[in-house]
Amino acid sequence: MPKAGNFYIEDIKLYHSKKSFFTFVHNILNINYYGAMKKIFILLVLTFQLNILAGGKPYLILVSFDAFRWDYMERGLTPNLDKFASEGVNSLSLEPCFPSKTFPNHMSIITGMYPQNHGIIHNTIYNRFTEKTYKMSDSNEVRDPRWYLGEPFWETAERQGITTASYFWPGSEMKLDYRRPTYFLPYDHDCPEDKKIAGIIDWLSLPESQRPHFITVYFHETDDDGHNFGPNSPEINRSIVKLDSIAGLLLSSLSKLPIKDSINVVFLSDHGMTEISKERQINIGKILDGLKAKLFDSGPVMMISPSGSSVDSLYDRLKKNEINYQVYKREEVPANLHFSENPFIAEIVVIADMGWTLVQNNKREYYSDSKGNHGYDNHHLDMNGFFIANGPAFKSNYQTGTIRNIDIYPMLCKIFNIFPKSNIDGKLERIEQILK
Ligand code: AMP
Ligand code: ZN
Ligand code: ZN
């Protein structure tokens, strides 16, 4: 706009049209009425814009239902989740990473990285250099930041000015202030579900300067009952009903908040569940009889390191007996499992076929009584979880195909308009179709 002295042309025209009035005011009050008006106007515009920015910062609640298989919503047991998904985004399924276990996948969701890259390659990890073992039941190890190589979303967000909170999530208790959410709690498996919801509502009722905008919460029911009774049992159906009513309680509580229209909610799971049985066990210790090796873990995945015998002799023996499982040397694990590139992956990786269980010996193990498990090849549909989302950032009435859990981190960064870490495996372009 062309300028004339201190005024724009339009200002001068306006001045002329109101000349007599302004001259009158100016003369009486002896003030630069125009200058004052302009300053007030600019201040008003700035205040308005700041309000938009503050009010416009989104909220997102990330809810994990452990082991809630992709098809549990098709059983006619989930009216609250059905309504939520049909009005927002409903995906066919959520593909986990390999191994389809709890800790690796919660970390993949929150970092956008494959387990081999974020470091939590299994629920139990053996560090051959320090001889320390990471176990989810060992709170000291779980809180040791040295195991975690990825940057969780809450760290990315806090660094860029967004307050975050967690009512449980693997990795949220790290003993390093800047790597964990502002608000977090030590994991308590017995924490009542309505207490978690009340905690979230309390956080969201804090004054804006203290209020978290990103909150994670975790519910374990479908995992417990899936293991104990199997994915096709009446007991798992009762858990599905329970989680649906928890979802209903959370959504109705959120809808009473003054900020309700700015809140996004994502319900998802870390993996699915498949039926297992005592009859389908493979005794790896027996197959390796006479050879010297260290066997790590049991279930769908077992890792083996030589302790006297050569890698080739162990591998050859397992290869000769390869029925109902696949054996690989670490560097030959199929590329689509992304499970070769971490020093804590042992020299040999054995992966059971769906429904089969690898055991170390004939001793009665945890698995003897289990009816369901997960951890298998993540591309199997039974290992897929679910993903549904609703809120101002998401499209309405939108159906999409299978989503990969590593793409959630870049999606969160996009929603909050912050910079993601550049070394992630997730890709925004594979998921952004679900955003408005
Ligand atoms: P899994 O089925 O073996 O992959 O692991 C499921 C178990 O992980 C649940 O039964 C929980 O007890 C445990 N778990 C989940 N989140 C946490 C956490 N943040 N800290 C410790 N343990 C957890
Ligand atoms: Zn799990
Ligand atoms: Zn489980």
Query: Looking at residue 317, what is its pLDDT?
Result: 98
Euclidean distance between CA atoms 256 and 268, whole angstroms: 23
User: What tokens were used for 353?
Assistant: 């076929």
208 in a structural domain = yes
* Nearest-angstrom CA–CA distance, 420 and 285: 44
Using alpha carbons, list the distances in angstroms from residue 32 to 9, 18, 41, 43, 44.
18, 14, 14, 17, 19
Query: Parallel, antiparallel, or unpaired for β 357-359 and 281-283?
Result: parallel
Q: Compute, in angstroms, the gap from residue 102 CA to the centroid of ligand 1.
A: 6
One domain for residues 352 and 391: no
State whether 205 and 64 are in the same domain. Answer: yes
Task: Tell me, using a 6 A CB cutoff, whether residue 123 lines ligand 1.
Answer: yes
List 23, 47, 78, 102, catalytic entry:
102
What CATH number is associated with residue 84? Answer: 3.40.720.10
The rounded distance, in Å, linking the Cα atoms of 117 and 330 is 15
User: For this structure, is 163 an active site residue?
Assistant: no
Q: Is the CB–ligand 1 distance for residue 189 below 6 Å?
A: yes
Can you give the pLDDT of all 436 residues of the chain as single tens digits? Answer: 333 333 333 333 333 334 344 443 344 444 454 555 555 444 444 444 444 444 579 999 999 999 999 999 999 999 999 999 999 999 999 999 999 999 999 999 999 999 999 999 999 999 999 999 999 999 999 999 999 999 999 999 999 999 999 999 999 999 999 999 999 999 999 999 999 999 999 999 999 999 999 999 999 999 999 999 999 999 999 999 999 999 999 999 999 999 999 999 999 999 999 999 999 999 999 999 999 999 999 999 999 999 999 999 999 999 999 999 999 999 999 999 999 999 999 999 999 999 999 999 987 665 668 999 999 999 999 999 999 999 999 999 999 999 999 999 999 999 999 999 999 999 999 999 999 9
| 51 and 89 belong to one structural domain | no
Q: Do residues 427 and 420 lie in contact, with contact meaning Cβ atoms separated by under 8 Å?
A: no
Rounded to 5°, angle at Cα 175 from 174 and 179:
55
pLDDT for the residue numbered 365: 61
Instruction: State the pLDDT at residue 21.
Output: 40
354 in a structural domain = yes
The closest of 300, 313, 298 to 347, measured between CA atoms, is: 313
Return d(Cα 358, Cα 61) in angstroms, integer: 37
Three-class HEC string of the chain: CCEECCEEHHHHHHHHHCHHHHHHHHHHHCCCHHHHHHHHHHHHHHHHHHHHHHHHCCEEEEEEECCCCCCHHHCCCCHHHHHHHHHCEEECCEECCCCCCHHHHHHHHHHCCCHHHHCCCCCEEEECCCCEEEECCCHHHHCCHHHCCCCCHHHHHHHCCCCEEEECCCCCCCCCHHHCCCEECCCCCCCCHHHHHHHHHHHHCCCCCCCCCEEEEEECHHHHHHHHHCCCCHHHHHHHHHHHHHHHHHHHHHCCCCCHHHEEEEEECCCCCEECCCCCEEEHHHHCCCCCEEEECCECEEEEEECCCCHHHHHHHHHHCCCCEEEEEHHHCCHHHCCCCCCCCCCEEEEECCCCEEECCCCCCHHHHCCEECCCCCCCHHHCECEEEECCCECCCEEECCEEHHHHHHHHHHHHCCCCCCCCCCCHHHCHHHEC
Distance, CA of 293 to CA of 305 (rounded, Å): 6
Q: Are residues 207 and 132 in the same domain?
A: yes
Structure tokens belonging to residue 74: 């098709």
Q: What is the CATH number of the domain that holds 305?
A: 3.30.1360.180
Ligand 1 in contact with 101 (CB < 6 A)? yes
> How far, in Å, CA of 325 to CA of 301, rounded?
9
Distance 410 CA to ligand 2 centre (A): 22
* Residue ID of nearest Cα to ligand 1 atom 19: 170
Ligand 1 near 102 CB (within 6 A): yes
87-125 in b/e burial notation, b at 16+ Cβ within 10 A?
ebbbbbbbbbbbbbbbbbbbbbbbbbbbbbbbbbbbbbb
Residue 316 to residue 328: CA distance in whole angstroms: 10
Structure tokens at 165: 């909170």
Which of these three, 321, 351, 369, is where a domain ends? 369
Ligand 1 atom at minimal distance to the Cα of residue 168: 19
Do 90 and 225 belong to one domain?
Answer: yes
Q: What's the distance, Cα to Cα, between the start and end of the chain in Å?
A: 35
pLDDT of residue 56: 76
Say if 80 falls within a structural domain.
Answer: yes
Q: Kindly state if the Cβ of 185 falls inside 6 Å of ligand 1.
A: no
1 in a domain, yes or no? no
Measured from the CA of 103, which atom of ligand 1 is nearest? 4
Q: Are residues 251 and 399 in the same domain?
A: yes
Testing ligand 1's pocket by substitution, the residue of 62, 64, 66 carrying the most ligand atoms inside 8 A of its CB is 66
Q: What domain range includes position 88?
A: 59-275+378-434
Contact of 89 with 251, CB cutoff 8 Å: no
State whether 128 and 264 are in the same domain: yes
Question: Domain check: are 38 and 176 in the same one?
Answer: no
Q: Are 342 and 257 found together in one domain?
A: no
Residue type, 223: D
Cβ–ligand 1 contact at 91 (below 6 Å): no
pLDDT number for residue 74 = 98
Cβ atoms within 10 Å of 240's Cβ, excluding its own: 22
Identify whether 194 is part of a domain.
yes
Q: How far apart are CA 391 and CA 41, in angstroms?
A: 34
* Residue-level pLDDT at 395: 98
